[in-house]
Structure 1
Amino acid sequence: MTTTLSVTTSLPSNFRHSDFLAFHKRDKTELAEKVEGNLIRKGMLINGIPCCLSLSLNNDTATLQIDADSYASSLDHDGLAALLTHMLGLNQDIDAFEAHYQTHPEISRLLKHHRGLRIPQTTTPFEAITWAITGQLISVEAAVSIRRRLIEATGRGHSSGIWCSPDAATLANTEIDTYRRCGFSNSKATTIQRVAQMLENNELDLSLTADPEVVARELLAIKGVGPWTVSYTLLRGFGWLDGSLHGDVAVRRNLQRLLNSEEKPSEKETQVWLNAFSPWRALVAAHLWAIQSEQGY
């Protein structure tokens, strides 16, 4: 038995369709995310049930349809509408940010090219933290490849043919050797497994209603989770725009370009520079990422 539900929402006039599509094009094999024109199809497990999300973008509206391979009790109209708003980043107050910094000597230059930039979100914060841990200290391309192998090894297929990323229940019980065969270091494998186990044991709250600052403190207490991982998780999983991504190599490299500096700023120098833009530090970092938007960070 399949279950189908759909919702539609309006888009702001400055919504950047290309940013959202690029975020879901990171894996060229399209194992678990497939982009066809303005339609994105993504596999997701809900209560262990394989589901296919189909998100279509029009000029001024977006529609999200979910097709579950069986009845999923958490499926309802309001929940799906909230998921759509979350994924599109429509809760992010970018208008206030742009109004505040439209005359700033550096930020105004970024806004000239990337006005309306908001942060596309993962379907769940757990997806965000698994991606963040996977991507620690390696290139986007390498992280995509390792993530793909993990999905192939532990994910589940939807009847449409798209694969669903593994959920916390699956990864909590995945052997370390399986992670290692996918390309994870022992440290990263242990960290992902531990986060998944904590979620399953109700020792960690990664629900969208959780306080990001509380989540940050709890995540930092986990071995293998550092400030960059926390800030990236909060940015991509919760839409929290005030994390400091000063340790990100691309942020530092592009800040050097923005400031026309002869040397790449240190992590400390980048942190000090970003601190001036709180509570939008992570959004500023995303604008720096956008200098190389084809990377799909």
Structure 2
Amino acid sequence: MDDDSRYEAVRSRDERFDGVFFTAVLTTGIYCRPSCPATTPKRENVRFHPSAAAAQAAGFRACRRCRPDAVPGSAEWNLRADAVGRAMRLIADGVVDREGVPGLAARLGYSPRQVQRQLTAELGAGPVALARAQRAHTARILLQTTALPITEIAFAAGFASVRQFNDTIRETYARPPRELRAAATPRAGRGVRPAAGADPAGVPLRLAYRGAYDAAQVFDFLARRAVPGIEELRGSPGARTYRRTLALPHGTGVAEVDEAPGGRQARWLPCRLRLTDLRDLTTAVQRMRRLFDLDADPYAVAERLGADPALGPLVAARPGLRSPGAADPAEPAVRAVLGQQVTVAAARTLAGRLVAAYGKPLSAPDGALTHTFPEPGTLAGAPLAELGMPEARRAAIRTVCAALAEGTVDLGPGADREEATRALLALRGVGPWTAGYVRMRALGDPDVFLPGDAGVRHGLRALAGPGPAPDAEAWRPWRSYAVHHLWNATA
């Protein structure tokens, strides 16, 4: 897009571009999302920035009306597999807060200077500025949704000092932290100060997305695969709540996401996070966003897949279909091996046994949630006799977990997808279906096709009828979504 086409998107308040670029207004000193409902500024007074961090670095503060810091992430980072895309996924996961720019650069295989240069060239801001903008957003959430002391919020959001926290909040939101908290809509429980650290009621969030969102499809997918002990669904279809445990860098957590946002026009899913350490808030949010595929571009997916004569009717019938990812990158790798040559229900039963035998217990059960998923290092040397599986399959699980524990296979948010796939296929007991499924879910690749999957084969036959099979190559770069359409067609 050029600046003129960006301005046309702003004039039409086109929400498709929320998170793709940001609009800065010279006369007011604020920056907005493209769909901001405020009066459209004159063209000569507008400047465009590729990221919120770039707008903040240029001296603009966030709009109080459209909250541009709360938009869905750019779908570009889901699609791109280059160094910049990997860096953005790592920054979103909190790597810069935990390991600094040298840690980010080491994970990418570049020098800090190279990472700074590449990010600045494409996003108008380096890794420190991008992480700083993310910390400001986390701090605003904690200020407006919890009763935590401001000093605790500063460090929970990842700031190195209270002074840095105060300066950043003033620059970003044009008001000090106490005023930002006072301006928030009163919420239940805000008057009760938590005893220590995390709010026992959890941090309430709105997980934003763009376009249509087929929540029923996502919740059905998760319900069929929910592993006892780490996942559960409550309620009835249309009003379900998905709950799961999270193993995070500083502790553990329990996440709850509601199926119904309160109307089709509400572009968010209600979420609550209960964390043992609030420093994990940013990481937990990003992992839930990946699990629910909330940063996808449904417009681009529908445009490509909907144009296919065979697949088009399925796309029209399920607008906003998503490709769920994973809350723990190692978990889908283990579950994929468990699911080889068995039904989804059988794989779920096996995973439940694995969690009961080797999962890390929570400090106290939370409803049906009792454990976090077993760590790869624990399973690498485990006998796995509880599974009642052939030794070859148990050996494959140990092999995969040993590779994950040793770092031979990297499935983290910044992993190189091609390299990870090659490393998986080199392991004994891992075939193309397993590697492809892991790439789709753990690595969030939107362009994975599983020709050997039984559901995909049945779906292709149903689409083709008496004619030739559809050409899956025409569905690039959104073949993961095509796979879900085929699965739904045969469910």
**Range class of TM-score, shorter chain:** 0.7 to 0.9
**1:284 aligned residue (482, 487, 490):** 482
Structure 1 residues 181 and 221: alpha-carbon distance in aligned structure 2, compared to 1, 3 A threshold: same
Q: Structure 1, residues 130-163: CA drift from partner, whole Å, max 9, x if none?
A: 1111111111111111111111111133221413
Instruction: Report deviation, 1:113.
Output: 1.6
Residue in 1 aligned with 2:253? 51
Q: Deviations over 1:12-61 (max 9, x none)?
A: 34111112211221257843211123321112323594432222341422
Structure 2 CA distance for partners of 1:2 and 1:36, relative to 1, 3 Å: farther
Q: What is the alpha-carbon distance in structure 2 between the residues aligned to residue 189 and residue 3 of structure 1?
A: 39
Alpha-carbon contact 1:154-1:166 (below 8 Å) kept: yes
Q: Give the corresponding residue for 2:242.
A: 40
Establish whether residue 113 from structure 1 lines up as the match of residue 299 from structure 2. no
Letter in 2 for 1:62: L
Is 2:306 aligned against 1:102?
yes
Higher mean C-alpha deviation, range 139-148 or range 41-50: 41-50
The answer to which structure, 1 or 2, has the higher relative contact order (CA under 8 A, 6+ apart) is: 1
| 1:24 partnered with 2:222 | yes
Match of 2:403 in 1: 198
The CA distance in 2 between the partners of 1:149 and 1:137, in whole Å, is 18
* 1:50/1:156 contact within 8 Å kept: no
Say what the alpha-carbon RMSD is for the aligned residues: 2.5
**Residue 128 (str. 1) matches residue 341 (str. 2):** no
Change (3 A) 1:154 1:72: farther
Alpha-carbon distance in structure 1 between the residues aligned to 2:198 and 2:377: 22
Distance 1:130 1:145 in 2: 13
The two structures have a TM-score, normalised by structure 2, of 0.53
Whether 1:219 and 2:417 are equivalent positions in the alignment is no
Q: Distance in 2 between matches of 1:215 and 1:150?
A: 24
Corresponding residue of 2:355: 151
- Describe the shift of the 1:72–1:204 C-alpha distance in structure 2 as closer, same or farther (beyond 3 A): farther
1:86 to 286, 290, 299: 290
Change (3 A) 1:123 1:156: same
Alpha-carbon distance in 2 for matches of 1:261, 1:147: 39
CA separation of 1:135/1:28 partners in 2, compared to 1, >3 Å: closer, same or farther? closer
- The verdict on how the C-alpha distance between 1:275 and 1:88 changes in structure 2, with shifts beyond 3 A counting, is same
Contact 2:311/2:463, CA 8 A, preserved across alignment: no
**CA 1:116–1:28 in structure 2 vs 1: closer, same or farther (change >3 Å)?**
closer
Which ranges in structure 2 are unaligned for 5 or more consecutive residues? 1-195
Return the alpha-carbon distance in structure 1 between the equivalents of residues 428 and 253 of structure 2: 32
Q: Percent identity?
A: 25
Q: How many residues align?
A: 280
1:209 to 1:64, Cα distance in 2 relative to 1, 3 A: farther
Once residues 478 and 426 of structure 2 are traced to their aligned partners in structure 1, the CA distance between those partners, rounded to angstroms, is 24
Q: 2:459, 2:407 → 1: CA distance?
A: 39
Q: Decide whether aligned partners of structure 1 residues 11 and 28 sit closer, same or farther in structure 2, where only a CA change above 3 A counts.
A: closer
* Superimposed CA distance per residue, residues 173-206 of structure 1 (whole angstroms, 9 cap, x where no aligned partner): 322xxx2321333222222212222222222211
SS of alignment partner, residue 34 of structure 1: strand
> Which of 144, 160, 166 is 2:374 aligned to?
166
TM-score in terms of structure 1 length: 0.84
- The SS at the match of 1:65 is strand
- 3-state SS of 1:276 partner: helix
Greater CA radius of gyration, 1 or 2? 2
What is residue 119 of structure 2 aligned with on the other side?
A: none
State the one-letter code of the partner of 1:288.
Answer: L
Q: For residue 172 of structure 1, what is the amino acid of its counterpart?
A: A
Q: 2:269 aligns with which of 62, 66, 73?
A: 62
TM-fit CA distance, 1:2: 6.8
What code does the residue aligned with 1:285 have? V
The offset of 1:62, in angstroms, is: 2.0
SS where residue 26 of structure 1 aligns? helix
Structure-2 residue corresponding to 1:237: 442
TM-aligned CA deviation for residue 230 of structure 1: 1.1
C-alpha separation in 2, matches of 1:43 and 1:203: 26
Q: 1:208 to 1:28 in 2, by over 3 A?
A: closer
Range moving further from structure 2, 48-57 or 126-135:
48-57
Contact 1:33 1:41 in 2 (8 A): yes
Q: Structure 1 residues 2 and 189, CA, compared in 2 at 3 Å: closer, same or farther?
A: farther
